Chain A
Amino acid sequence: MSEAPLLEVRNLTVDYVGANAVARAVNGIDFDIRPGEAFGLAGESGCGKSTVAFALARLTRLPGLVTGGAVRLMGEDVLGFTGERLRRYRWSEVSFVFQSAMNALNPVIRVSEQIEDAIYAHHPRTKPDAARARAAELFELVGISPQRLDDYPHQFSGGMRQRICIAMALALEPKLIIMDEPTTALDVVVQRDIIEQICELKNRFGFSVLFITHDLGLMIEFCDRIGVMYAGELVEVAPADKILTAPQHPYTRALGRSFPPLTGPKVRLEGIAGAPPSLSALPEGCRFSPRCGEAIPMCMRLAPELRPTTTGGEAACHLLG
């Protein structure tokens, strides 16, 4: 655990600036991503997962605004990057696989050209042959025949397009790839195929991955550590294998109970009663307390902070005192 982290996120705060109010979508979250690690962010829709991903990639757009905290890539202050440094950070140090690959590829440009574009943009003096060879190499890496380099996006299936996007993300050998629900639009078989491929590539090239998905099962399989978010806050960070087997936070436990186990006796899925709070009307104290079956009076008054747990992770809950 003494290894220096690749990416440090400290107290990251992202607000949405409205006409009459400011909504806090991400409220001071802390986590590290170590070199070669796959870190997962889990949570319900609207809990701020994608907002975090966009903030880390420096892609927050108005009305979103990173109002506080720090992001450091190997000690360098990412939020202060400007001009050429920011350009290098985006894609050549941290690349992004978006949710819908269908929209990330330009339908009227051959995919070879789109991959080569990413190379030329960062290494303008690359020889055309070299760029072409690299594109072919990337195609093979993600399991598509290089013969198809000169096809247009509509000639590929959804899964292949997603793999082309992953190939583009790999093009410049980044240190970190942010994957925002990369497989949500695909069927389960293709999903598994792609995840296995990413896993293999990760082990081969040693990049880190920030992985975001609703699919907790997939995440547990693929990630080394998982952070669970609720209403813009990180409520638990734990090794992936402990999330289901030894959840510390009541929310993590409830989340685990709402997924069907693949083996063992049939159990009744419980789900979580109630709905996540609106960001403009947050409860006092712990944000999960109104839905938490184990809440004690203190939970309604005081917001808990992340503290180390016995399972080697961290959790924010008063019950773990």
Chain B
Amino acid sequence: MDAPSQREVMAELGVKPRARWLGRLPGWAQLFVTNRKGMFGLAILAVFVLLAALAPLITPYDPYRRAGKPHVQPGVEHFLGTTRQGKDNFSQLLEGGRASLTVGFVAGLSATLIGLAVGISAAYFGGKTDEVLTFFVNVSLVLPALPLIIVLASFIEEASPTVIGLVLALTGWGWSARTIRTQTLALKTREFVLAAELMGESKWRIIVMEILPNMSSFVVGGFVLATIYGILAEAALEFIGLGSPNSVTWGTMLYWAMRAQALQTGAWYEIWPPAIAIMLTGAALVMVNFAVDEITNPQLAATRRVGPIRRFLKRRKRSADFV
């Protein structure tokens, strides 16, 4: 039986030598840039963030004012039609992204940072520290999040997106703390941590340089989940009418669409754009997470080629060893 040469194997599996421009990037960036899912997610996110950031410059109408007749169909004048109150949907979508994305990222980032600090310290220092911190984690896990947010939201009138994000982080950090604590407990007993301790590395160096990089996919995964949670919780608050109805976010857009019975009156263009925007943001974040997984576990790079590898084996009447 003849074996194909390395060059032939590479051609059949679609493994290409690294392009020259790629070689200049650091290793993790190379893996990210060549990951289709990750780049697709990043592109979607970039579009949303860019549109939101530039919203005041590019919205065709003032999103806060009446811009035409109520429920105008999508067309040349109004790209995504108008709401029941005659506000331009497209302008509202761009403007709404500002608040929704800010809330999401602020909530995601702060929940992850709190969870990371609490989880790692609890697990690594153990003993009393662990007991006290785990107590707070458990409390935050059993607190009914939504009612608490409702109460807080009614206390803080006219809250800015940043404040809402922080409030959501306060109720949403428990899960990430819990998973990170568990992960740290497992890593702590590994020999490389013991070796670092023997070599006299400081505790903070061990935490940041030895333990943290081993769970970066957990941390990023937690950030993604917390961000999605932030966006959804904010939308939920607005949707049940607890936000400020005068602000424009994806949540208030859905609130007004429901108030206007948009679906029943056939005004799909009032309800779908914010809903799809929320879904796409979540999906994009998850896709970015796939790419991060691959960076932290380079062996996954080969699983990119599972399709070609299966065809390669099938052509030779072989079966795959891996399942």
Identify which of A15, A62, A80 contacts B317 (C-beta below 8 A): A80
Assess whether A19 is in contact with B301, with CB atoms less than 8 Å apart: yes
Q: Known contacts being A20-B16, A20-B17, A21-B17, is A68 close to B309, with CB within 8 Å? A: no
- Given A62-B303, A68-B1, A68-B2, residue A17 in contact with residue B13 (CB < 8 A): yes
Interface pair A10/B17, CB less than 8 Å apart = no
Q: Check if B2 sits within 8 Å of A17, measured CB to CB.
A: no
**CB < 8 Å: which of B2, B10, B34, B319 contacts A21?**
B10
Contacts of B307 in A (CB 8 A): none
Q: Is B322 an interface residue (CB 8 A)?
A: yes
Contact A22–B309 (Cβ < 8 Å)? no
Within 8 A of A (CB), among B277-323: 298-299, 301-306, 309, 312, 317-319, 321-322
User: Looking across the interface, which residue of chain B has its beta carbon closest to that of A67?
Assistant: B9
Contact B319 A13 (CB under 8 A): no
A28 at the interface (CB under 8 A from B): yes
Interface flags, A67-99, vs B, CB<8A=1, else 0? 111100000010111100010000000000000
A225 interfacial contact with B, CB 8 Å: no
| Residue among A16, A22, A60 with most chain B CB within 10 A | A22
Q: Which residues of A contact B312 (CB under 8 A)?
A: 65, 67
B10:A22 contact, CB within 8 angstroms: yes
User: Which of B1, B30, B305 is in CB contact (< 8 Å) with A17?
Assistant: B305
Name which residue of chain B comes closest to A57, CB basis. Answer: B321
Q: How far is the CB of B56 from chain A (nearest CB, A)?
A: 42
Instruction: Assess whether B18 is interfacial by the CB under 8 Å rule.
Output: yes
Q: CB < 8 Å: which of B6, B18, B34, B304 contacts A15?
A: B6
Is the Cβ of A62 less than 8 Å from the Cβ of B322? yes
Docked CA distance A75–B106 (Å)? 65
- Nearest CB of chain A from residue B38's CB, rounded to whole Å: 13
Q: Judging by beta carbons under 8 Å apart, are B2 and A18 in contact?
A: no
Give Cα A68 to B301, complex, Å.
Answer: 21
A67 CA / B303 CA spacing, docked (Å):
16
Measured between beta carbons, the chain B residues less than 8 angstroms from A10 are: 1
Interface string of B31-46 (1 = CB under 8 A from A): 1001000000000000
| Inter-chain contacts of B9 with A (CB < 8 A) | 15, 17, 22, 67
**A104 CB within 8 Å of chain B:** no
Known: A17-B305, A80-B319. A69 touches B3 (CB 8 A): yes
Residues of A within 8 A of B304 (CB): 19
- Among B30, B301, B317, B321, the residue within 8 A (CB) of A63 is B301
B13 to chain A, nearest CB (A): 6
Query: Could you count the A-B residue pairs with CB atoms below 8 Å apart for me: how many are there?
Result: 80
Asked if B319 and A68 sit within 8 Å, CB to CB, the answer is: no
Asked if A22 contacts B303 (CB within 8 A), the reply is no
Q: Which range contains the number of A residues in contact with the other chain?
A: 20 to 34
Question: By the criterion CB–CB under 8 Å, are B6 and A66 in contact?
Answer: no
With the chains together, A69 CA to B318 CA distance in Å? Answer: 11
* Cβ-based interface call for A11 (8 A): yes
Interface membership of chain B positions 16-30, coded 1 if the CB is closer than 8 angstroms to chain A and 0 otherwise:
111000000000001
Which of B4, B6, B34 is A19 in contact with, Cβ under 8 Å?
B34
Residues from chain B with a CB closer than 8 A to the CB of A63 are 299, 301-302
CA distance A31 to B233 in the complex (A): 64
Residues of B within 8 A of A11 (CB): 1-3
A319 interface contact, C-beta 8 A: no
Q: Which residues of A contact B321 (CB under 8 A)?
A: 58-61, 66
B4 touches A21 (CB 8 A): no
* B residues near A60, Cβ cutoff 8 Å: 321-322
Most chain-B CB neighbours within 10 Å: which of A13, A16, A17, A79? A17
The answer to whether A22 and B318 touch across the interface, beta carbons within 8 angstroms, is no
For residue B209, CB closer than 8 A to chain A, the reply is no
A60 (CB) vs chain B CBs: closest residue = B321
CB of B15 within 8 Å of the partner chain: yes
Contacting pair B302 A18 (CB below 8 A): yes
Whether A24 is near chain B, meaning CB under 8 Å from some CB there, is yes
Could you list which residues of chain B lie within 8 angstroms of chain A, going by C-beta atoms? 1-4, 6, 9-10, 13, 15-18, 30-31, 34, 298-299, 301-306, 309, 312, 317-319, 321-322
Give the B-binding residues of A (Cβ under 8 A): 10-11, 13, 15-24, 28, 58-63, 65-70, 77, 79-82, 86
Given known contacts A19-B304, A28-B3, what 8 new A-B pairs fall within 8 Å (CB)? A17-B9, A17-B13, A17-B15, A19-B301, A20-B15, A22-B9, A59-B321, A80-B317
Name the 5 nearest CB pairs between A and B, nearest first: A68-B3, A63-B302, A13-B3, A20-B18, A82-B319
